[in-house]
Structure 1
Amino acid sequence: MSNNNSNIATPKSQGFFFPPEWHPHAATWLTFPHNDASWQGDKLAKMYPQYFQLIKAISKGEKVGLNVNNETLKSFILNELPKYDIDFNQIEILVNPTNDAWCRDHGPAFLINPETKERMIVDWGYNAWGGKYPPFDDDNRLSSKIAAYRGLKTVTPGIIMEGGSVEFNGAGTILTSRECLLNENRNPHLTQAQIEQYLFDFYGAEQILWVNDGIVGDDTDGHIDDTVRFVNEDTVITMVEPDKADDNHEILEENLQLLKGMRLLNGKQLNIVEINMPEPVIIDDFRGPASYANFLICNAGVLVPTFQCKNDDLALDTLSQIFKDRPVIGLDSTDIIWGQGSFHCLSQQEPSV
């Protein structure tokens, strides 16, 4: 489907849009980690307890759709769930071959139409962040499989787009980064204006706001979900690094200044809440993309990755002052972050309608 054809009914023209993450969920989708290349050596088995804690926390407020690579992995999971006191009735396990665990990027983008009470799925293309980690063909097929399972119609824009690269306020505005969406390894044939048109047409948006770069150690080329997140229609949290000697200081300060100059569709400035980065997490001499911004908003609460450092409590306290309608819950992500992502990267919400 091409959005250059005015005769084609786009999701936006049909009244569909991508709701904000705080919109009530019917479920959250996860893809169970199994790729030794992402968590090398004994790191995969070591991160599983933290991953099951994530499943448990989500499942207290909604169903968890769990894509598993094969029957062997399904048996392992079914054996582990009781150890974490996870309610089997809250877990929907689908045996779907996958390449890796990052459901935010390879999973389905669910749209809703509040008028007709319908949902549809946008099946964006996925190329493992510019072809960095082949193969990725199984991951690229996952959205259509979940759509078939749910019995939802799909639309296929035909371009690369990752869920972690876009952030929504639910009132027509998308935040994203130039480093990712304008990267030549994604859609080199498209201009910025053309990419914006795809976002308008297939996410039901009216406005795109751009920051520049992402944090050090982020192999996705600057995903927004590690730097800036909407927490309501007109408020964002943004990560900052007070230490001027830190490589992230200048990047995040530049983003902050850009955010200060932005205006929403109603002409208002953004309310900006600054949160200090965690202390650097070093993995085998490599700096991981540890960030409190990679939280997941779900029905049961706001699940915030923590990193066993002094800034954890401050981040949790700041977020608790923002989210009045649900608890803010810190979960240890020190083993999960070895895979170069955290709770938001691992998940994709399925909204209610």
Structure 2
Amino acid sequence: MQHLTPQDPTPDSLGFRMPPEWAPHAATWMSWPADDDLWFGQLAPVRAEYAELVRTVARYERVDLLVRDEESERDARARLGLGAQDAELNVRLHRVPLDDVWVRDNGPIFVQGEAQELALTNWKFNAWGGKFEWQHDDLVPEHVASTLQMTHWDLPVVLEGGAVEVNGDGVALVTRSCLLTPTRNPHLNEERYAELLQRYLGVQRLLWLDGGLENDHTDGHIDTITRFTDARTIVTSVEADPSDPNHAVMNANLHALRGMTDRHGQPFRVVELPLPALRLEGPEGRLPPTYANFYIGNGFVAVPQYGDPNDQQALDILAPLFPDRDVIGLQSRAIITGGGSFHCMTQQQPEGTPWTGLKEDHA
């Protein structure tokens, strides 16, 4: 296992790219909820919903589940029905110090070579600009790399996985409200981000939307509002109520997307996805529920549901976009109190064999 730095050849120069989420997975990495204070006293119902998500993913692919202490491991085993042999239910447990559950953001971003060699990129994580504790979570990519004995690039730049959405054909979507906040990388502008994402994730065309959902503590991650479902199709959140603060932002995003083109100059197919109809409130104000925070796995798509009038409509819109996958609605009403949902809680490990790293004359 090699540690590579910005002084070494970049993933892009070696033919590595971040694959799209719908590419085949070897596993899904997740982190078990553990801190009742972070969940405003709702840890038990959060764990119940989370366990159903783990069980669903494990029916289709292996789950590598991080647990931070003995209590978390005991609770996970009990809720999932795991015995001494984790593999019986396609779940492997790993004891790792953790601050929170949002492994999409603090976990590694995998890159894949032309012959399906696999490496990972380890970006800095600072809890969305220092909003929460992050010191343990920032070390998760190193734990994953060590477990997999996988070569990785260590990068001195803050980047969360939920902030970047790729289409598998060289295009990525991001938001200005997130990436350009001064609490992440104040020295970076749009041009510098485009260069970094090209060099380390293989992004050839970076497309920018302005903003995300009201009261989203990530400052507007792309994965809460707008997603690729294939290389040419984008689903984007819309809010029908003109009096809702999300209406103007989502409408501006929709207008911008309709004017964007792919790497080949072709317009995207843009599909509107309603936000939940009901306004959900938490201890810190409005919550940011969204159906766009779905997770695409091997043969399935897990879509958050909130007991909302728009739940079924969201499933009906998404199902035709994934004709070869089971589109499954799962409850996320308790989970959303933490500010995110299924995509935020998962990180895919693409299929591939660990890359052995650079030869000594290049290391």
State the TM-score, normalized to the length of structure 1.
0.95
Amino acid of the structure 1 residue aligned with 2:227 = R
CA shift for structure 1 position 114: 2.9
2-structure distance, mates of 1:235, 1:304: 17
Instruction: Give matches, 1:22-101, under 5 Å.
Output: 22-41=22-41, 43-82=42-81, 88-101=88-101
3-state DSSP of counterpart to 1:38: coil
Amino acid of the structure 2 residue aligned with 1:16 = F
- What percentage of aligned pairs have identical amino acids? 38
Q: Cα 1:140–1:306, aligned 2, differ >3 Å: closer, same or farther?
A: same
What's 1:192 paired with?
190
Amino acid of the structure 2 residue aligned with 1:124 = W
What's 1:269 paired with?
267
**Range moving further from structure 2, 183-192 or 69-78:** 69-78
2-structure distance, mates of 1:89, 1:303: 18
CA contact (8 A) 1:102 1:345 kept: yes
What's 2:246 paired with?
248
2-structure distance, mates of 1:132, 1:118: 36
**Range moving further from structure 2, 298-307 or 74-83:** 74-83
**Alignment partner of 1:172 is 2:170:** yes
Gaps of 5+ in 2: 353-363
Q: Cα 1:269–1:246, aligned 2, differ >3 Å: closer, same or farther?
A: same
CA contact (8 A) 2:291 2:305 kept: yes
3-state DSSP of counterpart to 2:140: helix
Moved over 6 A (4+): none
1-structure distance, mates of 2:299, 2:123: 28
CA contact (8 A) 2:99 2:137 kept: yes
What's 2:356 paired with?
none
Q: 2:155 aligned to 157, 165, 168, which one?
A: 157
What's 1:306 paired with?
305
**Alignment partner of 1:114 is 2:95:** no
Gaps of 5+ in 1: none
- Residue by residue, what CA displacement relative to the aligned partner does 1:224-261 show, whole Å, maximum 9, x if unpaired? 01110000001100000011011100010010111011
Amino acid of the structure 1 residue aligned with 2:23 = H
3-state DSSP of counterpart to 1:269: coil
2-structure distance, mates of 1:89, 1:210: 41
CA contact (8 A) 1:164 1:224 kept: yes
2-structure distance, mates of 1:13, 1:44: 45
CA shift for structure 1 position 192: 1.7
3-state DSSP of counterpart to 1:19: coil
Amino acid of the structure 2 residue aligned with 1:44 = L
2-structure distance, mates of 1:77, 1:262: 44
Q: 1:142 aligned to 114, 118, 140, which one?
A: 140
CA contact (8 A) 2:48 2:79 kept: no
Aligned length: 345
CA shift for structure 1 position 2: 6.5
